[in-house]
């Protein structure tokens, strides 16, 4: 029995719905990981030690353990202490925080490489350190770090397939459901792969647009 893609159209609705979930989760987690990354970076560089220390621990957990385990902890673990999150919310938080830690590393380096004169100039017109960071240093750091963050976001999109294991009907799980109904794994996994690729192209397009907008001001 060769490949037979004629079975696909009958189940395309479930695949498309899965695509929407994947996009929704990836976009929400990407936004969380971006702003979370900025907050984490500022805490890591400038926070008082009493916040910085527990934060380091959290960072170590997110970088040093499998994302799959983190998703289990957030979805199944937190229930035990009374925090019962819907699966897609747990997925967004898990993915978002996991990649926020990676983005934070990039943003920290970028903040440190912004010319010292920028902070000085901002302080001499009377801005506080916080205001100077927010208005002068961080916008420049973020600008420098858009391309590598874009790479992280592509990894995030691919890793979003993991939230299928906590029961979110995103693209991968939708493909599995279609396979359950048709016994056509090759076809549906290939279709899912194609959709991931298309979503990825979309993300790259967005990233290029952001980069181009930024480059106008260089």
Partner 1 sequence: MTDQSHFVEIRHAQKSYGTLEVLKDISLNVERGQIVAIIGPSGSGKSTLLRAINDLDSLTGGEVWLDGVQVNKDLPHRQYEKHINAMRQDIGMVFQHFNLFPHLTARENVVMAPKMLKGLSKEAADKLAEEQLEKVGMLDRIDYYPSRLSGGQKQRVAIARALAMKPKLMLFDEATSALDPELVDEVNMVMKKLAEEHMTMIIVTHEMDFAASVCDRVLFMDQGVVVEEGPPEIVFRKPTKDRTREFLRKHLAGVA
Rounded CA-CA distance 95/83 in Å is 18
Residues that bind partner 1 (CB under 8 A): 115, 117-118, 120-129, 131, 135-136, 139-140, 143, 216-218
Residue among 113 and 128 whose Cβ is closer to partner 1: 128
CB of 122 to partner 1, least distance (A): 8
**Contact partners, residue 151, CB within 8 Å, separation at least 6:** none
Choose between 136 and 166: whose C-beta lies nearer to partner 1.
Answer: 136
Query: C-beta of 128: minimal distance to partner 1 in Å?
Result: 5
Residues with Cβ < 8 Å from 123, sequence gap 6 or more?
A: 129, 132
Q: Which is closer to partner 1, CB of 212 or CB of 218?
A: 218
Tokens of 52: 């910085």
Residue pair 152/33 in contact (Cβ under 8 Å)? The answer is yes
When the beta carbons of 118 and 200 are compared against partner 1, the nearer one is 118
User: How many CB atoms are closer than 10 A to CB 122?
Assistant: 19
110, 44 Cβ separation under 8 angstroms: no
Minimum distance of partner 1 from residue 216's CB (angstroms): 8
Cβ 133 to partner 1 shortest distance, Å = 13
């Amino acid at each position: 029995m060769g490949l037979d893609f004629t079975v696909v159209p009958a189940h395309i609705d479930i695949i498309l719905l899965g695509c929407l979930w994947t996009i929704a989760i990836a976009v929400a987690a990407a936004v969380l990981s971006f702003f979370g990354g900025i907050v984490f970076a500022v805490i890591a560089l400038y926070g008082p030690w009493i916040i910085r220390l527990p934060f380091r621990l959290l960072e170590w957990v997110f970088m040093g353990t499998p994302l799959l385990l983190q998703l289990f902890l957030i979805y199944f673990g937190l229930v035990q202490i009374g925090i019962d999150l819907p699966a897609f919310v747990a997925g967004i938080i898990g993915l978002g925080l996991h990649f926020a830690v990676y983005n934070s590393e990039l943003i920290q380096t970028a903040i440190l490489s912004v010319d010292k004169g920028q902070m000085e100039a901002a302080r001499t017109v009377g801005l506080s350190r916080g205001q100077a960071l927010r208005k002068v240093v961080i916008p420049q750091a973020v600008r420098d770090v858009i391309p590598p963050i874009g790479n992280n976001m592509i990894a995030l999109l691919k890793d979003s397939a993991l939230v299928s294991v906590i029961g979110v009907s995103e693209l991968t799980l939708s493909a599995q459901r279609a396979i359950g109904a048709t016994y056509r794994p090759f076809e549906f996994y290939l279709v899912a792969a194609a959709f991931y690729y298309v979503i990825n192209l979309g993300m790259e397009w967005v990233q290029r647009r952001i980069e181009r907008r930024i480059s106008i001001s260089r």
